[in-house]
Amino acid sequence: MSADTYPTKTLLLGAAGQLGSELVPLLSARSEVVAVTRDRLDLSQPKQLRGLVEDVRPDAIVNAAAYTAVDKAEAEPDLARAVNADAPTALAAYARDAGIPLLHVSTDYVFDGSKGSPYREDDPTGPLGIYGATKLAGERGIRATCDRYGIVRTAWVYGSRGKSNFVKTMLRLGKDREELRVVCDQIGSPTWTGDLARAIAELLPHLNDRDRAGIYHCTNSGVASWYDFAVAIFEEARVLGFPLKIEGVRAIATHEYPTPAKRPAYSVLDGEKLAGLLGDRLPHWRISLRQMLREF
Per-residue pLDDT of the chain (296 residues; tens, 9 = 90+): 445 689 999 999 999 999 999 999 999 999 999 999 988 888 888 778 888 999 999 999 999 999 999 999 999 999 999 999 999 999 999 999 999 999 999 999 999 999 989 999 999 999 999 999 999 999 999 999 999 999 999 999 999 987 789 999 999 999 999 999 999 999 999 999 999 999 999 999 999 999 999 999 999 999 999 999 999 999 999 999 999 999 999 999 999 999 999 999 999 999 999 999 999 999 999 999 999 999 98
Would you say 148 and 94 are in contact if contact means Cβ atoms under 8 Å apart?
Answer: no
Query: What one-character DSSP code corresponds to residue 51?
Result: H
> What's the rounded Cα separation, in Å, for the pair 13 and 121?
24
Cα–Cα dist 278/44, whole Å: 34
What does the pLDDT read at residue 4? 66
Q: How far apart are CA 9 and CA 106, in angstroms?
A: 23
Pairing, β 191-192 against β 187-188: unpaired
Between the CA of residue 111 and those of 59, 91, 107, 124, 248, what are the distances in Å? 32, 24, 9, 8, 32
* Closest-CA residue to 215 (of 137, 106, 124, 115): 106
Q: Which of 164, 142, 3 has the alpha carbon at shortest distance from 63?
A: 142
Q: What is the pLDDT of residue 50?
A: 84
Helices and strands (DSSP H and E) totals, the chain: 10, 12
Looking at residue 1, its pLDDT comes to: 43
Q: What is the C-alpha to C-alpha distance for residues 145 and 147, in angstroms, rounded to an integer?
A: 7
Instruction: Give the catalytic positions in this structure.
Output: 131
Planar angle of CA 213, 136, 18, nearest 5 degrees: 80
Q: Which domains does the chain have, with CATH numbers?
A: 9-164+190-219+267-283 (3.40.50.720)
Distance CA 178, CA 246 (A): 4
Burial status of residue 143 (CB atoms within 10 A of its CB: 0-12, 13-18, 19 or more)? middle
Q: What is the CA radius of gyration of the chain?
A: 19
Rounded to whole angstroms, how far apart are CA atoms 110 and 120?
12
- Supply the pLDDT for residue 5: 85
Contact 127, 136 (CB under 8 A): yes
In this predicted structure, what is the pLDDT of residue 130?
98
Distance, CA of 101 to CA of 96 (rounded, Å): 8
